[in-house]
Amino acid sequence: MTFVQTLNQYTLVIAALLIVTLLIGLRLGYARGGWNRHLVYIWTLLIYSIYVLITPLFFYFNKVYKIIGTDIENYFGLGFALDLIGIFCFITGYWIAGNTDKSKWEEKSIYVTKNPKKIIQILFYSLYGIVLLNLAMGGANIQQVFIGDEVVGLGASGGSYFLQNFTDSLICVIVLAYFYDIPSRILLFWIAMSFFLFSLLGFRYRIVLSLFGILFVYLYKNKVNFRRILVGAFMALLFFYGIMFSTENRKELILKTYNKVTFDPLKFNYNRFFDQTRGALPDMAVYKLYDNPNRNAEHDYGLTMFGYVFIRMIPRSIYPDKDRFYPPPQLATTLQAYDAYWARFSGEATLSVAALYIAFGWMGIVFGHFFWAVFLRKFADSIRQSDKLIVTSYIVVALVTFQWITRGYFPQVIDHFVYMMIPIWILRYLSKKNDQVEIH
């Protein structure tokens, strides 16, 4: 009996150890500062709870053992084991790296911004205008798009991929608007306009990240009490409805067939939630690939994770032959792991755990999670709760962490981070440091 087969016999035992590890990790976070103080750490563990525990257990108990034509029945044990190792290293790295004495949590804010609401309004309309202008450069008739007579979407990039990514900046502007108390009627209008644009472009993640960001700001702005818990529970339900609504009606929103949109939550297919969070199953297909010596799968030693950050930066106008670098080694390995001939059309993504495994093997999972946690803790210790710009930066890290864990493609995560940080960098540039502000 091989090691993998032995692990598979103890799948539920390993899953139980994973549950205990996650609970200990969450308990440490809440006992040593709570949600706001350790936002990204606790958020990471909550995401993992869904993606590497609840959802794969759902498929395991329902005897769903195939993903993209690949039989992974014998790899649930290995999958849970590698996730357990990664999460243990993450928790260990976070608490080893911490230094409460050097934390800046209670210190005064660094940045003081004069009339931030005006700057945020200018940012919203400027960024929205850039995205629309870029769509027009790509041939879209903006008037017809808004009327409903023209359809764009499915990743439309307009005239320039780089300009289209400013759509991500709108997520941060919405978060800043809520944080800086932009009037509700204006904020709701911006949210509606942004979500309309997000749905046109066919990328649901922007709606999801915006909802997450709003929730995080709400928790920062309000002390927890019974009333806040009820409001928070309502927002969580609203958020879940938003995810299910966008999942259930994804095609209808892209094609703008609004007469076919389903609003009734009782008619939603909730199994789709598990289909949308099943990233651990492609991970297992990857582990199966590497476990088969006849498949000759190789690790890329970080080429995709780090090298393609720079490849993505090169405009095709400068390097027209850029397409020869694609697909990246990580994606090619993932496609190799699937047995179905239609795998390359599936859009199925691995989690960050498998991305680290493809890069460096099990050592990648160990050291990747450990040093990622060390970075997060050092960053967390630099956060000042009174400084809205710094806290918003922390929220942006939480949002891109969701993308990193669930999509596992680091170069794209860097894209998201840079574009979401642009509004914050502009506000910082226009702000004065606290020691430059005259105190009366």
**DSSP characters over 376-431:** HHHHHTT--TT-HHHHHHHHHHHHHHHHHHHH--HHHHHHHHHHHHHHHHHHHHTS
Q: What is the mean pLDDT of the chain?
A: 85
User: Per-residue pLDDT tens for 314-324?
Assistant: 877 777 777 78
Q: Cα dihedral angle (117, 121, 123, 125), rounded to 10 degrees?
A: 180
User: 230: Cβ–Cβ under 8 A, 6 or more apart, which residues?
Assistant: none
Q: Which tokens is 15 given?
A: 């899953």
Q: So what's the pLDDT on residue 35?
A: 86
Q: What pairing do the DSSP bridges indicate for beta strands 432-433 and 70-71? A: unpaired
Q: So what's the pLDDT on residue 439?
A: 39
Gap between the Cα atoms of 343 and 185, Å rounded: 45
The number of C-alpha atoms within 13 Å of 227 and in the hemisphere containing its C-beta is 2
Gap between the Cα atoms of 174 and 201, Å rounded: 18
Residue 360: pLDDT band by 50, 70, 90 thresholds?
very high
pLDDT average, residue stretch 46-68: 93
- Say how far residue 283 (Cα) sits from the centre of its chain: 17
Beta partners for residue 67, in sequence order: 70
Gap between the Cα atoms of 249 and 270, Å rounded: 13
Number of other residues whose CB lies within 10 A of the CB of residue 177 = 24
Return the percentage of the chain with pLDDT > 70, whole number: 83
**Residue with token string 């929220």:** 395
Gap between the Cα atoms of 279 and 353, Å rounded: 10
**359 near 301, Cβ under 8 Å?**
yes
Gap between the Cα atoms of 57 and 316, Å rounded: 44
The number of C-alpha atoms within 13 Å of 26 and in the hemisphere containing its C-beta is 13
Residue 52: pLDDT band by 50, 70, 90 thresholds?
very high
User: 119: Cβ–Cβ under 8 A, 6 or more apart, which residues?
Assistant: 113, 426, 427, 430
**Residue with token string 């969580």:** 236
pLDDT average, residue stretch 42-69: 93
Gap between the Cα atoms of 89 and 21, Å rounded: 10
pLDDT average, residue stretch 82-95: 97
Gap between the Cα atoms of 66 and 130, Å rounded: 43
pLDDT average, residue stretch 331-347: 84
Query: Is the bond into 327 cis (omega within 30 degrees of 0)?
Result: yes
